[in-house]
């Protein structure tokens, strides 16, 4: 039976906990660990390689359960989440896993021709592994914590 990725994790332990919880709720959840594949094909340390998958007919009910549990007790706190839509259906690196293309793409990312990015399977957003934090801006697009122009911080010459 075809399975669909439901949640992506960086570490195995929280994935196992969530898998058992889904199974206790009657959902046939399985773990798919791509860490060995990433280590071999992508020539790098695996990252976000643990995928919790469910059979296609159970996907919607499993997703509803996860959203409910996340509201109740933050069940997805250790999952990799999309910064745009908060989906937990994420792939890393953001490239196909078919035939020779991953090897070429990995070569390009190693040479810094292409960035290494996450990919959201729901909204198709991609983002880098490290994101710059944007300062909070006021109505005039000045940083909120800026002291520029503040007479209390002006230096006397």
Instruction: Express each pLDDT in 87-104 by its tens digit.
Output: 999 987 655 445 555 555
Tokens of 22: 């889904």
Confidence class for position 145, pLDDT limits 50, 70, 90: confident
Burial 31-55 (b: 16+ CB within 10 A, else e): eeebeeebeebbeeebebbbbbbbe
Span between the terminal Cα atoms of the chain, in Å: 76
Name the more confident of 24 and 107: 24
Tell me the average pLDDT across 118-127. Answer: 88
Closest C-alpha among 104, 112, 1 to residue 56: 1
Helix (H, G, I), strand (E, B) or coil at 31: strand
Please tell me what DSSP assigns to residue 98: S
Confidence class for position 39, pLDDT limits 50, 70, 90: very low
69-83, pLDDT tens digit by residue?
999 999 999 999 999
């Amino acid at each position: 039976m075809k399975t669909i990725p439901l949640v992506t994790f960086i570490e195995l332990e929280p994935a196992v906990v969530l898998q058992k919880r889904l199974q206790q709720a009657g959902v046939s959840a399985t773990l798919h660990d791509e860490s060995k594949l990433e280590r071999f094909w992508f020539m790098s340390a695996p990252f976000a390689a643990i995928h919790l998958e469910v059979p296609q007919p159970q996907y919607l009910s499993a997703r509803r359960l996860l959203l409910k549990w996340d509201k109740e007790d933050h069940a997805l706190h250790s999952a990799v989440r999309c910064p745009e839509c908060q989906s937990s259906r994420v792939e890393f690196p953001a490239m196909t896993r078919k035939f020779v293309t991953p090897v070429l793409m990995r070569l390009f990312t190693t040479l810094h021709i292409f960035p290494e990015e996450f990919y959201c399977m729901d909204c198709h957003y991609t983002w880098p592994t490290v994101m710059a934090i944007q300062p909070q801006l006021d109505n005039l697009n000045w940083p909120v914590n800026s002291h520029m122009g503040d007479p209390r911080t002006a230096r006397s010459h």
